[in-house]
A = this chain, B = another copy of it.
Amino acid sequence: MKLLLSTALVALLATTAFANDPVPPDLRQTALEMFKPLPSTTPAVADNPITPEKIALGKALFFDPRMSASGVFSCNSCHNLATGGDDNLETSIGHGWQKGPRNAPTALNAVFNIAQFWDGRAEDLKAQAKGPVQAGVEMANTPTQVVDTLKSMPKYVEWFEAAFPGEADPVTFDNFAKAIEAFEATLITPAPFDAWLNGDDAAMTIEQQQGLALFIDKGCAACHGGINVGGEGYYPFGLIEKPGADVLPEGDKGRFAVTNTADDSYVFRAAPLRNVALTAPYFHSGKVWGLNEAVAIMGTSQLGEELQEGDVGKIVAFLESLTGRMPEVTYPVLPPETASTPRPSGAVIP
């Protein structure tokens, strides 16, 4: 018994020595006050009961490039489920090879954000889903043409009827958005961090746990908290010190455009950090490609502190524990066009 105890003690000391910055014994308790593990089931969303039929329809719509005027872009083009739910571009390339104004955020776990877009201008995913479809630099389509396109394909009409039973005219732009929201609500990615929060000590390495402790101690968690480790509130980018115009372009005042309040100048929704290791480049400008660099910029701009390289490394290790298991998605087979389907057009209307 004595031998066993001292072996355990030696092991413990070795870990501590190796770690050289011990993990606080109450770390999980502290963490559970600031974060929440993902649920094991699809979350409910407001005003949109989720059914298997609605999820299946939403998946088809999410992957259908015919929802864009050109026939080139689907939701998945910029929120690619194969690459972390985003497109890994500075800002997306859309209709007419135009560049979007801000970096495309991931669709993964987006259902848990307080609101959608970098400035929170859409209150939920069904409101968000209507945006890019109509944006001239993205999918450049109109609600009328989306509905015409859908109604021209009998299989889609059938799927809408199944997803919205009892509705006299189920193929609407509102229902299009609701179905996409239902599918997106299924895109949740349980990660080692969740397993650790749920009690599995081995799910995170010591370095990742140390990174978590630093993430809390340094103050990162004050803005990046909750179920999505961010995505819960709005904060000025450059709270302490504004980053250069390369990272924070002067022309984009963030939430100011939504609220028209001076206080909201350069205010953005704190980025949700789940799967952040998969979603470079970073910030709304998409100007920073390295996660270490992004963490260091956050240190100076938001915390007024030049983080040590070792601490940055640990925080990045923690952020990597937020990389989750991707949802398994069977690629959809979409209904074929008919004679009455509006023809795709890549023409750019100024």
Q: What is A's interface to B at a CB cutoff of 8 Å?
A: 63-66, 70-72, 77, 80-84, 87-89, 93, 96-97, 99, 277-278, 280, 289-290, 326, 328-334, 336-337, 339, 343-344, 346
Among B64, B289, B334, B346, the residue within 8 A (CB) of A97 is: B346
Among B87, B336, B343, the residue within 8 A (CB) of A83 is: B336
**Residues in B whose Cβ lies below 8 Å from that of A329:** 330-331
Closest to A66 in B: B88
Q: For the complex, what is the distance from the CA of A80 to the CA of B77, rounded to whole Å?
A: 12
Task: State the main secondary structure of chain A at its contact with B.
Answer: loop
Among B72, B82, B87, B277, the residue within 8 A (CB) of A93 is: B72
B280:A99 contact, CB within 8 angstroms: no
Closest to A82 in B: B334
Q: List 14 A-B contacts (CB under 8 A).
A: A65-B80, A66-B83, A66-B88, A71-B89, A72-B77, A82-B332, A82-B333, A82-B334, A88-B344, A89-B344, A326-B333, A329-B331, A330-B330, A330-B331
**Residues in B whose Cβ lies below 8 Å from that of A63:** 82
User: Known: A88-B344, A344-B89. Is A290-B339 also a contact (CB below 8 A)?
Assistant: yes
User: Known: A70-B93, A72-B77, A88-B344. Is A280-B330 also a contact (CB below 8 A)?
Assistant: no
**Residues in B whose Cβ lies below 8 Å from that of A330:** 328-331
B289:A343 contact, CB within 8 angstroms: yes
A317 CB to nearest B CB, Å: 15
**Residues in B whose Cβ lies below 8 Å from that of A280:** 336-337
A97 CB to nearest B CB, Å: 4
**Residues in B whose Cβ lies below 8 Å from that of A84:** 336
B331:A81 contact, CB within 8 angstroms: yes
**Residues in B whose Cβ lies below 8 Å from that of A89:** 70-72, 344
A339:B289 contact, CB within 8 angstroms: yes
**Residues in B whose Cβ lies below 8 Å from that of A65:** 80, 83, 87
Q: For the complex, what is the distance from the CA of A243 to the CA of B24, rounded to whole Å?
A: 79
Besides A65-B87, A72-B89, 18 other CB < 8 A contacts? Answer: A64-B82, A66-B88, A70-B89, A70-B93, A71-B88, A71-B89, A82-B332, A82-B334, A83-B336, A84-B336, A88-B344, A89-B344, A97-B97, A99-B346, A278-B336, A289-B339, A290-B339, A331-B331
